[in-house]
Amino acid sequence: MIFVTVGTQGQFDRLIRTVDKWAGTHGIADVFAQTGPTDYHSENIRTAPFVDPTDFRKCVETASVVISHAGMGSIITALELGKRIIVMPRRANLGEHRNDHQLATAKRFSEQGRILVAFTEQELVDKLDQLQVFDPTKRLNAQVSPRLIFTIRTFIETGRIRSGNKDISL
């Protein structure tokens, strides 16, 4: 299965539309996308606006590849589970986000060689066409602290971190 996620920050129709059209053109039936709130109606892929955190993790675990916005939670989960991931960052100049922090995130992870990045719809199609030659991703290595991953995931999900005996909201 190919799992597509746009996170919880709103719609990302450019990503969903591109994958939907690619799946239709190639006769790929096993694609499931978490779309966020959208008016776009997919013709070739299964969709749901939101996926709860437990089901999200199950989707990533069972996926052969993850296609995602450049959200830290999605990227870290895919890397933690050793999944191949193609990231398309949201762009502020297209009204997809309020700033371009996702471009910076995608570039940084790409420089590390951990993810593939598609900055345009055509780049995403090209990367999807090359899935058969895309090497599997190594899981985050054992030196990554499970506590660090837990802290980052908790912050992403709640906007709070624990420092000593107190919670800090950001």
Q: pLDDT per residue over 149-158, tens digit each? A: 777 777 666 6
Average pLDDT over residues 122-126: 96
Per-residue pLDDT at 65 exceeds 60: yes
Q: What was the pLDDT predicted at 67?
A: 97
Spell out the domain ranges in the chain: 2-139, 140-170
Reported as a pLDDT band with limits 50, 70 and 90, residue 4 is very high
Q: pLDDT per residue over 129-146, tens digit each? A: 988 655 555 555 545 667
Tokens 């420089």 -> residue: 111
Rounded-to-integer distance, Cα 31 and Cα 72, Å: 22
HSE value, Cβ hemisphere, 13 Å, CA-based, for 76: 18
Q: 46 pairs with which residues across the strands? A: 32
* Contact predicate 66/32, CB 8 Å: no
Structural fold of domain 2-139: Rossmann fold (3.40.50)
Q: Tell me, yes or no, if the pTM score tops 0.85.
A: no
